[in-house]
Structure formats: structure tokens, C-alpha cells
Amino acid sequence: MAAILSIHELRKTYEGGFQALKGVSLDIEEGEILALLGPNGAGKTTLISTICGITNGTSGSVSVGGFDNVTHFRRARALIGLVPQEITLEPFTGVLDTVTFSRGLFGKPANPALVEEILRKLSLWEKRDSRIMDLSGGMKRRVLIAKALAHEPRILFLDEPTAGVDVELRKDMWEIVQELKADGVTIILTTHYIEEAEAIADRVGVIANGELLLVEEKDQLMARMGQKQLEVQLSAPVSAIPESLAQHSLQLVNDGKALLYSYDTRAERTGITTLLNDVAQAGLVLADVQTRESSLEDIFVGLVSGEKLRTESVSGDAA
């Protein structure tokens, strides 16, 4: 498929001299869902703002549907809908009014039927005459989405759409995203939740310190993220791994006081039960077991410092 959004060597230095984007290049294909992950201050919002025209890039180029976002900004921006990270709505306007406003601002003729459809889909139709200030936080977030959809964008940016949103609304949001994808809308979303990327994204990009560290098919990344380790602590140290446990590909750590077993949480069988049985059969006495998993944080840290995966102790019980 053709790239609908093409970012080339994009750099952004803010007024104070802070460099928030350090040469980001990325192609996004039509119809895909890309999740951008990255720690606070990574530059996710800056990247989105620069693409949408809210801030000027310092150098580099962005092409949207084949149109440069500076020289052909009208054609480029007409394709884009944006749901900002912060709730930025005029408190005194009505829901229906503000959504209708968004459509008009993009130069589209009024279409009450479409606006109604969008509001119904987002469960906001009942609230159409309410003032923004009288809505709950989750409703306001949905108003932001309705506004972004009002001009029928081909590309939708969702900047942390589920931050501070309850589980139910989050699931709703995922459903809406899938429906939009089914309609052929390209979606770029940022999030801090790995489950979210896992649930809806086709590809995942990791950004830190203004640099895009990786863009990978979700499945490949998940396979890497899904690695877990089980540490079997022994009551008495051993000098070598017993023959009978050779098939488990274990590592001897901690001066022979523990066995380390790596497995894939996504696999049908983790092999833990057999392992523990075999350990007992081999006559080893367990002092404790512990699991460790690689978290998203580890991947960030690992990527940033140029290291491979590092592990961190997370939970206790394994069996």
C-alpha cells in the first residue's frame, strides 16, 4: 500500500532552544493503525503538532496524501483530524454547536445528519444541548473525538485518547478505532499503555528523546515483549545443571543458587509445570520461585542506552 503520510528528517527546536525532534523519518501506510509509544517528554505530541500545523517544524518535510504540509497546507490539512492530548474545549459552548463549528472550520458544508451519526456513535447525542462545562471528563474527550471526525478526515491523530479514561470507555474507544479503520481511516495514536497498542495497533513505533528508535510490526514487538523469566532459587547451591534438566535450556545463576528459565507468555504451554516437576525429580529442593518480565519501560531504557533487553523483578508467585 502507498504511504499516506510521509515524514522526512523532521526536526523541531522550540523557542528556548530545546530540541524536541531530532530528525524523525517515518512512512505511514493508508489504512493502518500505528501506535506511538514513548516516555513523557519523548516528543510524541510535538511530532503530531508539527504534522498538523500547530507548530512549525525547524527543518525536514511532511507530506500528507502527497501534499506538502507547508506549501500545500490546505490539501494536506483537509485530510487530517486531530484529537489533542489535553482537553481543550471552550466551556460555554454546546456540544452540537462545537462539533458543527469544527466541520465548518474545515470548509465543509453543514451536514446535520452526519453530525448526528457521529454524536450517536460516541454516545453524545443525548448531551447535544449541554454546555461543555457540564460534561464529565470522559464525555469531553469524546467531544474532542467528535470534533475531529466532523470533517470526515482520512487520517486521524489520537494523542493519548485513553489517558484517565475508565476501562469501559477505553474498550469503547478501541471499538471506535476499529470501526474507523474498517472505513479506511488511517490512525496514529499515542499511548502509555502497552495493552492498548497490543489491542488495536498494526504497527508500533517507539520514540524517546526526540528520536524514533524503532517501528515494528506489532506481532514481532509483542513476541519480544512477551519474554518472561522464571527464577528457581535452590536451598542448596549446585555446581552444574543436572543432566535430567538439560532439555529445559536453563541457565545457572547466582553462584549456582538459582536456575533461570525463559519462556514466552504467549505460547500455549509455558513449560513451567514440567520444569518444576523435573526439578523436584532431580532431587533439588526449592527455596523460592520468582518471575521477571521485560516491561515496556525496559524496552525504552534498553533502546535509549543502546543495550539489549534488561529484566526487572516484577512479581513473586509463578506456579
Partner 1 sequence: MNWTAVATIYRAEMARFWRTFLQSFISPVLSTSLYFVVFGSAIGSRIQEVDGVEYGAFIVPGLVMLSVITQSISNASFGIFFPKFIGNIYEILSAPINFLEVVAGFVGAAATKSLFIGTVILCTASLFVDLAVQHPLAMVAFLVLTCLSFSLMGFIIGIWARNFEQLQLVPLLVVTPLVFLGGSFYSISMLPPFWQTITHFNPVVYLVSGFRWAFFGQADVPVLLSLCAIGGFTLACMGVIWWIFKTGWRIRA
Ligand X SMILES: Nc1ncnc2c1ncn2[C@@H]1O[C@H](COP(=O)(O)OP(=O)(O)OP(=O)(O)O)[C@@H](O)[C@H]1O
Give me the residues that bind partner 1 (CB under 8 A), please: 14-15, 49, 52-56, 73-78, 80, 82, 84, 86, 88-93, 97, 101-102, 104-109, 147
19 is an interface residue for Mg ion by CB under 5 A: no
Tell me if 69 contacts Mg ion by CB under 5 A.
Answer: no
Binding mask 63-102 for ligand X (x = CB under 6 A): ----------------------x-----------------
Q: Find which of ligand X, partner 1, Mg ion, none residue 74 binds, CB within 5 to 8 Å per kind.
A: partner 1
Measured distance CA(243)–CA(33) in Å, rounded: 48
To the nearest whole angstrom, how small is the minimum distance from the Cβ of residue 92 to ligand X?
Answer: 26
Residue from 14, 66, 247, 312 touching ligand X (CB under 6 A): that is 14
- Nearer to partner 1 (CB atom), residue 85 or residue 209: 85
State which amino acid sits at residue 128: R
C-beta of 160 vs 172, nearer to ligand X = 160
Between 105 and 287, name the residue whose CB sits nearer to partner 1: 105
Q: How far apart are CA 91 and CA 89, in angstroms?
A: 6
C-alpha cell at 8: 522526512
Least distance CB 211 / ligand X (angstroms)? 12
The Cα–Cα gap between 175 and 177 comes to: 5
DSSP character for 38?
Answer: -
Q: How many residues bind ligand X (CB under 6 A)?
A: 13
68 three-state secondary structure: strand
Grid cell at residue 120: 450517536
Residue 6 binds to Mg ion (criterion: CB under 5 A): no
Q: Name every residue whose Cβ is closer than 8 Å to that of residue 120 and which is 6 or more positions away in sequence.
A: none
As given in the structure block, the three cell numbers for residue 195 are: 495493552
Instruction: Of 205, 199, 162, 163, give the one whose Cα is nearest residue 178.
Output: 199
**Smallest separation (angstroms) from Mg ion to the CB of 111:** 31
Q: What SS3 state is found at 256?
A: coil
Report helix, strand or coil for 40: coil
Footprint of ligand X (CB under 6 A)? 14, 16, 18, 20, 38, 40-46, 85
